Amino acid sequence: MNQNDIDKLYNNRFFKRRIKKYHNKEIILAKVIHNVFSPDSVFDIGCALGSYLLKYKELGSKVSGCDKYFEYAKKYCDSEILPFLFSLDAEAKWDYSKYDKYHLVQCIEVAEHVKFQSSRQLVENICNMSLKYVLFTAAPPGQRGTGHINCQTKGFWINLFNDNNFIIDINKQEELMNAIKKSKNYLGIVRNIMVFKINC
């Protein structure tokens, strides 16, 4: 599967289906995540419809999010969150001076969809947007899914985050995983969760 094939997947039909399949799950999961991190601000990379951000905003956080395919996604976004979303390619080199930094940066089930050679740039972008925490999930080798072209081990990603001065926060990671299990919502994501903090 090449990049043109990947780009063709993320169209109106894809984002319309996300409303039924993921919107409510992500709203519920967002409340769990917010309870664990209590973030003043959140940036979501690969935000799709902005479902997580919609809940974070309701709970009082400053929010923003980007998606490479925002031109398609925006047609299906809630009007309350739409002004806080914009188009940005997570695989490109960003000019970080143009953007605020956030207490929590999340990138959920995005990394397996980027080109292998873009992995380091993706992680660099994530880390340069974060003031403290990163919530990162990515499909491991063998996990089926549409457009999975870059399924890597946790060790692969951990090394890239370490190179950007972010380290695993075991305590916060276990707290989040246990909270999600207790909520009995979106359980399939638990095994892919990694929580990083800046290595001060």
Domain range spanning residue 95? 3-198
CA distances from 116 to 7, 65, 108, 149, 157 (A): 15, 23, 17, 8, 11
Structure tokens at 18: 């996300």
Residues of the chain with pLDDT under 70: 1-7
Strand-pair category, 41-45 with 102-108: parallel
Number of compact structural domains in the chain: 1
pLDDT tens, 13-42? 888 888 888 899 999 999 999 999 999 999
The amino acid occupying position 83 is: P
Q: Is 71 helix (H, G, I), strand (E, B) or coil?
A: helix
Query: What pLDDT is stored for residue 21 in this prediction?
Result: 86
Query: What pLDDT is stored for residue 39 in this prediction?
Result: 98
Closest C-alpha to 68, from 120, 13, 123, 6: 6
Structure tokens at 168: 């695993």
Query: What pLDDT is stored for residue 112 in this prediction?
Result: 96
* Rounded CA Rg of the chain: 15
Query: What pLDDT is stored for residue 4 in this prediction?
Result: 64
pTM of the full structure: 0.95
Q: What is the CATH number of the domain that holds 95?
A: 3.40.50.150
